[in-house]
A and B are shown apart, each in its own frame.
Chain A
Amino acid sequence: MALENPKIRAEAIEASEFPSLANLYNVFGVPKTVTNGGVDFDGALPEPAYVAQVLGR
């Protein structure tokens, strides 16, 4: 998604190496996705559902 739109930035974070960041976002299981738009969900989704969820629409 980041590759296709310069307004989008995508970070993968290895939760056990960065525990303070993981705690900040209440990461209890992976994968967990959070965005600055308030999206917050656990687990993997098929691509169309994932894109819709992350974009908040």
Chain B
Amino acid sequence: MSERFISQEDAATIASMMEETAGTANVLLLVGKNCRFCRETRQLLEELHEISPEHIALRVVDVDEDPEGAALAERYGTEGKTPAIVYLDAEGNDTGMRYYGIPSGYEFGAMIEDLVDVANGRSQLSAASLEKVRSHDEDLLIRVFVTPT
């Protein structure tokens, strides 16, 4: 059995953060054949699901092997990128949030915050930012490039 990525201490912190959320973050992980970190990303997300099974649901689909894979990649617009983490809300609706690659290092913390927000069904934006964001009426695609440092 491979070693766990998440320490017991971090697992306890994550469990209590997720325990305070109102609902469930539904995580869809798309994996594929020619993928550098799919195996590790899958293990990481499986550990998160084990830490908080009530608040973090996980479905893993192989876009190359699973008959549903290609349709899901198309539906969620992942354009062949794997690993692709697709965040769905408690009802399974698309939140519009994606993470491409393995969320390690600093990005792991950011992912936990994303899971908390998705499970709660709301962001932690200030009231002033919320007003601006909610009144935006054009389609907007925001891409943020990160590295695992």
On A, residues with C-beta under 8 Å from B are 1-18, 21-22, 25, 27, 30-37, 47-48, 51-52, 54-55, 57
Q: Which residues of B are found within 8 Å of A9, using beta-carbon distances?
A: 96-98, 139-142
Given contacts A7-B139, A12-B144, A47-B126, contact A17 B37 (CB under 8 A): yes
Q: Which residues of A are found within 8 Å of B13, using beta-carbon distances?
A: none
A-B contact pairs, 6 of them (CB 8 A): A1-B123, A9-B141, A10-B97, A12-B107, A18-B101, A35-B140
| Residue interface bits B116-145, CB-to-A below 8 A is 1, else 0 | 011001110110111011101111111111
Asked if B100 and A17 sit within 8 Å, CB to CB, the answer is yes
Tell me, in angstroms, the Cα distance from A52 to B133 when the chains sit together: 9
B36 contacts the other chain (CB 8 A)? yes
Q: Which residues of A are found within 8 Å of B125, using beta-carbon distances?
A: 1, 4, 47, 51
* Dominant secondary structure at the B interface: mixed
Nearest B residue to A17 via CB reads: B101
Nearest B residue to A54 via CB reads: B142
Given A9-B96, A36-B141, 19 more A-B residue pairs with CB atoms under 8 Å apart are A1-B125, A3-B97, A5-B133, A5-B136, A8-B142, A9-B97, A11-B100, A12-B107, A13-B144, A13-B146, A14-B100, A14-B148, A15-B147, A17-B102, A18-B100, A31-B146, A34-B145, A48-B129, A54-B140
Given contacts A18-B81, A48-B128, contact A34 B133 (CB under 8 A): no
